[in-house]
Amino acid sequence: MDNNDKRNLDSSDGISEENNLLNEVINDISIRNDKDNI
Q: What is the pLDDT of residues 1-38, one digit of tens each?
A: 566 666 666 666 777 888 899 999 999 999 998 888 76
Which pLDDT belongs to residue 15?
Answer: 79
E strand or H helix at 33, and its extent? helix 3-37
What's residue 35's pLDDT? 83
The per-residue b/e assignment along 18-31, b for 16 or more CB within 10 angstroms, e otherwise, is eeeeeeeeeeeeee
Contact partners, residue 4, CB within 8 Å, separation at least 6: none
In this prediction, residue 10 carries a pLDDT of 63
Q: What is the pLDDT of residue 23?
A: 94
If you ran DSSP here, which 8-state letter would residue 2 be given? -
Give the C-alpha separation, 37 to 4, whole Å: 49
- pLDDT, position 30: 92
